Structure 1
Amino acid sequence: MLRNKLLTLLVSLAMSLLACEQAFARLHDDVMASGYIRIGVYKNFPPYSFMQEGEAAGVDIEIAREIADAFDLDLELHWITPDENLEDDLRNNVWKGHYLDKDEDNPLAMKQLADVMLRVPYDKAYAYKQDSLGYLINEQVVMKAPYQQERWQVAYDADRLDAVRTVAVFQYEPIGVEIDSVPAFYFTSSMGGRMRNMTHHFATPAKAFEAMQSGEVAAVMAMQSEIDWLLHQADNPRYRLAENGFPTMGRQTWDIGIAIRQTDRQLGYAVESVLDRLIRSGEMDAIFERYGLRYTKPEFYQVAEEAAGTD
Structure 2
Amino acid sequence: MRLLVLVLCSLLTLAQVAQAQVRPFDDIVASGVLKVAVYENFPPYSFQEDGQARGVDVELAQQLAASQDLKLELMWMTPGEKLDDDLRNFVWKGHYLRPEELADVMLRVPYDREFSYKRNELGEMVNELVVMFAPYQRERWQVAHDARRLKEVPSVAVFAYHPIGVEVDSVPSFYLSSAFGGRMSRNTRHYPSPPLAFAAMREGKVDAVMAMRGEIDWLLHEAADPQLKAAENAYPEMGRQQWDIGMAVHESNRQLAYALEGGLVELIGSGELAKIYARYGLRYEVPELYEGEVQAQTHGE
Of 122, 130, 134, the residue aligned with 1:133 is: 122
Per-residue CA shift, 1:186-211, capped at 9, x if unaligned? 11111111111111111111101100
Residues 191 and 181 of structure 1, relative CA distance in 2, 3 Å threshold: same
Alignment of 1:141-180 (within 5 A): 141-180=130-169
Q: Are 1:224 and 2:213 matched, yes or no?
A: yes
Report the AA paired with residue 93 of structure 1.
F
Instruction: Check the 8 A contact 1:25/1:112 in 2, yes or no.
Output: no
Could you tell me how far apart the structure 2 residues matched to 1:76 and 1:306 are? Answer: 33
Q: Are 1:25 and 2:25 matched, yes or no?
A: no
Counterpart position of 1:35: 32
Counterpart position of 2:86: 89
Query: Superposition RMSD on alpha carbons, in Å?
Result: 2.2
Instruction: Check the 8 A contact 1:40/1:80 in 2, yes or no.
Output: yes
Q: Are 1:61 and 2:50 matched, yes or no?
A: no
Q: Are 1:116 and 2:100 matched, yes or no?
A: no
Residues 141 and 160 of structure 1, relative CA distance in 2, 3 Å threshold: same
Report the AA paired with residue 133 of structure 2.
K
Report the AA paired with residue 194 of structure 1.
R
Residues 272 and 306 of structure 1, relative CA distance in 2, 3 Å threshold: closer
Of 247, 255, 271, the residue aligned with 1:266 is: 255
Q: Give, in angstroms, the shift of residue 304 of structure 1.
A: 6.0
Q: Give, in angstroms, the shift of residue 134 of structure 1.
A: 2.4
Instruction: Check the 8 A contact 1:131/1:137 in 2, yes or no.
Output: yes
Q: Give, in angstroms, the shift of residue 111 of structure 1.
A: 4.1
Could you tell me how far apart the structure 2 residues matched to 1:278 and 1:304 are? Answer: 12
Deviating 4+ runs (over 4 angstroms): 13-18, 303-309
Provide structure 1 residue ranges, at least 5 long, that are not aligned to the other structure. 1-8, 103-109
Report the AA paired with residue 79 of structure 1.
W
Aligned residues with identical type, % of pairs: 56
Could you tell me how far apart the structure 2 residues matched to 1:56 and 1:111 are? Answer: 24
Report the AA paired with residue 25 of structure 2.
H
Counterpart position of 1:256: 245
TM-score, structure 1 as length reference: 0.88
Counterpart position of 1:298: 287
Q: Give, in angstroms, the shift of residue 26 of structure 1.
A: 1.1
Could you tell me how far apart the structure 2 residues matched to 1:114 and 1:295 are? Answer: 26
Residues 151 and 16 of structure 1, relative CA distance in 2, 3 Å threshold: closer
Q: Give, in angstroms, the shift of residue 82 of structure 1.
A: 0.6
Residues 15 and 134 of structure 1, relative CA distance in 2, 3 Å threshold: closer
Alignment of 1:190-229 (within 5 A): 190-229=179-218
Provide structure 2 residue ranges, at least 5 long, that are not aligned to the other structure. 1-8
Q: Give, in angstroms, the shift of residue 53 of structure 1.
A: 1.3
Counterpart position of 1:236: 225
Instruction: Check the 8 A contact 1:155/1:242 in 2, yes or no.
Output: yes
**SS of equivalent to 1:33:** helix
